[in-house]
Amino acid sequence: MVDNRPEATRTIRTAYARVQGLGPAHHGTSEWWLHRVTAVSNIPLIVSFVVIVALCAGRSYEDAVRLVSHPLVAILLILGVLSVTNHMRMGLQIVIEDYVHDKGLKIAAVIANTFYSVVVAVACLYAIVRISLRAFV
């Protein structure tokens, strides 16, 4: 029997062997899982952020600094920033990978997305740490 398929499609591997694994990059499942974990962790962290902002409303600047300087509050804010910015980066990267088809533009967009997310996270973390440590000076 003669195989008339193009040479590129001829293989001795079974269909099951060809689809095993996690995709071409072997990292799809872990990224999907991490994106879901950050989504779930954002729920209590955003609720705590809203409560902290509500507690700061109507207070003097010194009282607000004192509140943010509390170790538990500062840790909640830092965890919130890390989780939200990481979730934001992953979400936008999914959109870029799905809808940007030019390879060079896709790479540039993913790099810009990562850079933007890091800048936002560092700016927020700097503000939280600066305010938190101000109460001790």
Domain containing 111 — which CATH number? 1.20.1300.10
Please tell me the distance from the alpha carbon of residue 31 to that of residue 100, in angstroms, as a whole number.
19
Any domain includes 13: no
Any domain includes 123: yes
> 14 or 78: which carries more pLDDT confidence?
78
73: its two tokens: 């509050």
What is the number of domains present in the chain? Answer: 1
CA–CA distances in Å: residue 40 to residues 32, 33, 34, 91, 96: 13, 11, 10, 14, 23
Please tell me the distance from the alpha carbon of residue 56 to that of residue 24, in angstroms, as a whole number.
49
Domain that holds residue 87: 27-134
pTM of the full structure: 0.77
- Can you spell out the DSSP letters for 62-126? HHHHHHHHSHHHHHHHHHHHHHHHHHHHHHHHHHHHHH---HHHHHHHHHHHHHHHHHHHHHHHH
Letter for the amino acid at 72? L
**Mean residue pLDDT across the chain:** 88
pLDDT of residue 123: 98
Any domain includes 88: yes
Any domain includes 77: yes
Could you report the per-residue pLDDT of 10-45, keeping only the tens digit for each?
Answer: 667 676 666 665 455 556 788 889 999 999 999 999
Please tell me the distance from the alpha carbon of residue 131 to that of residue 18, in angstroms, as a whole number.
54
Any domain includes 12: no
